[in-house]
Amino acid sequence: MEAVEYQAKVEALAEDILTDKQLAIDYDRKRQENREALRSLREQSQKSKPNSVLATTTVNMGDFFIQLPLPKAQKMMEEAQAELDKAIDDVRQRLKAKVKLLGELEGDEKLVTVAKAMDLKSVSGQDLYGISR
């Protein structure tokens, strides 16, 4: 019975990993769409005069459309972008931990090594060489 429980635990963890990977992909697609929308809003704000009627844009909010001033729409999109970045980082951190745990459960040193490599943080020149500006 122990082997069946072990296999069930490994399969559940693998399923969680696949689900998180798909979630990261979905968040990344949404982030790219927001990036495109922000670019479009910036171009639109450069073309229009600040106090004109053209300084508004129509934004899709779920099931309806709202007309907003360009600066407010840009601010909303930037906030949404920041939330998506945070969500993607959270999913990636969970993925790292789950991949490491899966590697440990399966006794696969390659997965454990990959998970440890994913935990590496970038080092600035100041930290590495003591360089200050």
Least confident of 5-9, 35-39, 101-105: 101-105
Q: Are the beta carbons of 11 and 3 closer than 8 angstroms?
A: no
Rounded mean pLDDT of 24-50? 88
Q: Is 87 exposed, middle or buried (0-12, 13-18, 19+ CB in 10 A)?
A: middle
Residue 44 near residue 57 (C-beta atoms within 8 A): yes
Q: How far apart are the first and last CA of the chain?
A: 62
Please give the pLDDT value at position 117.
Answer: 65
Nearest to 21 by CA among 88, 85, 82: 88
pLDDT at position 35 over 90: yes
**pTM > 0.75: yes or no:** no
Q: For residue 47, what pLDDT is reported?
A: 81
Distance (Å, whole) CA 86 – CA 69? 26
Q: Are 30 and 87 in contact (CB under 8 A)?
A: no
Q: Which of 92, 76, 72, 77 is nearest to 32 (CA)?
A: 77
How is residue 60 written in tokens?
């899709």
- Residue 127 confidence (pLDDT) above 70: no
Least confident of 13-17, 35-39, 59-63, 108-112: 108-112
Which pLDDT value is given to residue 104? 84
Other beta carbons within 10 angstroms of residue 122's beta carbon come to 6
Q: Give the helix, strand, coil percentages of the chain, each rounded to 5.
A: 75, 10, 15
